Amino acid sequence: MKKNIVLTLLMISMTLSVIGWFVVAYGQDNKNTTSMNIFFNPEMRKFVQVLQLLKESYYREVSDSQLLDEAINGMLKTLDPHSVYIYKESDLQNFYTQTTGTFGGIGFRVGVKDGFITVISPIENTPASRAGIKAGDIIVMIDTISTDGMDVDKAVSLMRGKPGTKVKLKINRFGTLIDFDITREIITIKSIPYYGMIDDSVGYIKLTQFTERVEDEFYQCVKDLFEKRGAKKLIVDLRQNPGGLLNSAISISDIFLPKGAQIVSTRSKNPSMDYVFRATQPIYKGFFPLVILVDDGSASASEIVAGALQDWDRALILGDTTYGKGSVQSVIDFSKNDKKDKGILKFTTARYFTPSGRSIDRELIKYENSQIDTNKYYTLGELNREVSGGGGIIPDFVYQERFLSKVEIDILTKQALMEFVSKYLSKNKVGENFVLNFDKKVFDEYLSFLVEKNVNVDDIKKDTTVLKNVEDQLLYEFAREIGGENLFYRVYLKKDFLVNKSLDFLKGSKDIKDMFFKLNKN
């Protein structure tokens, strides 16, 4: 309907040799509506003239729909990377599948970063994570199609497909090109794949995404840890969590903040889009010691939680600087009014800000100007300490995971780890004790297997860090295959650097001041 109406108006205006009226209005009521009246606008006249010339004189027939769709798309390409117009049938189907149904995929989230199709975060226990896809990987080719100039929806559409079929990816990882051959699966995601006690007094919750009603599940996990298992302190792991629903992020933040504390705000040129979200419930169990783990795959809702708890001096944030995705998108589905009028407009209407006033979104800061945010921001809690702006959340204790060596990448691309574990388990009946009391002889067998796969084992043995990681990855894969996520986390958390660092900060600490005292001593 929208295109037919627009085209009719344009044709009428051409017949009269004048643009009659054209109004763009956005808002909730007259008081808050921002409107732009274009009357006899020379730019609109130019647009109509171009359309008429193409209709009359272009060397071949072109459809009205094609011209208008591409015109809308062209407008949005001059804006931020999150504003897109979806109108091609395959892209529309991908959008509906993504928001309402199941799909065959490989299991990671992508976005545009610095103009490139970039992996935001692999989803745990999916083909992508098992193959070794990492946050920050740049996708340069999907099967035989280059991603140069490709938008996100097109890239996602190409990577999805029938479960059991394969997709080939060429990845640029910090200048090194890596080929992956990955089999699609039905992707199902647990929002909380694991929670439990790390030691006698410290609970742990792994949250992978902010889905609908996950706040209820999260709250029950917190209650179980504190009221039944004896937890006095807590670690919440948001690493590789790409975000999700705003309401879930607000509700989870609400658990840890006093009633009335600001959690996040949105700001826009349109006053009707300016909101302040606050905690509405009394704080749970008071100001017990709390640690939040983040990394470069923590985005959107994860950054809202981390930013709010950091700004109120409520939690110690550990890990790597977060992704920097903090913008609000509105979605208009034109087919709601007319099924024949297919097209979805997704455009940025506001930005998220932490309670101290920091903008979360790094990309929009770049679009507005290239200058670094030099403003000073201070926490609103009792420590009143300086925190950094400029997009994303910079942790209080910064730790970057090391980059994999070439030989480790070689193991991943050849899928040697999964092959060895699969073959071993097909020949040997083993249980949890096999993992909990891991025999070094099995690792020696694995190294011999890698030699057969033409992996340079000498490069593994000469670097103790690489050697340890290769052995740990073998142990983790066995744990996941034998005991699922539960056994995997029980084994993995004992070796995880940031979890152990969190325990150092939490040990003997009664509140946030004690933890920061330890941090400042480091």
Residues carrying an active site annotation: 300, 311, 325
DSSP string of 405-420, one letter each residue: PHHHHHHHHTTHHHHH
Beta bridge pairs of residue 142: 145, 169
Q: What number of other Cβ atoms are within 10 A of residue 461's Cβ?
A: 13
- CA–CA distance, 235 with 315 (Å, rounded to integer): 9
Query: What b/e string do you get for 39-73 counting C-beta neighbours within 10 Å, with b at 16 or more?
Result: eeeeeebeebeebeeebeeeeeeeebeebbbeebb
| Chain Cα centroid distance, residue 151 | 17
**Cα-based torsion angle of the residue sequence 138, 142, 147, 152 in order, rounded to the nearest 10 degrees:** -80
Residue with tokens 């030989």: 407
Query: How many CA atoms does the CB half-sphere of 366 hold within 13 Å?
Result: 13
Q: Are 485 and 193 in contact (CB under 8 A)?
A: yes
Residue type, 432: E
Q: Are 411 and 470 in contact (CB under 8 A)?
A: yes
Query: How many CA atoms does the CB half-sphere of 215 hold within 13 Å?
Result: 18
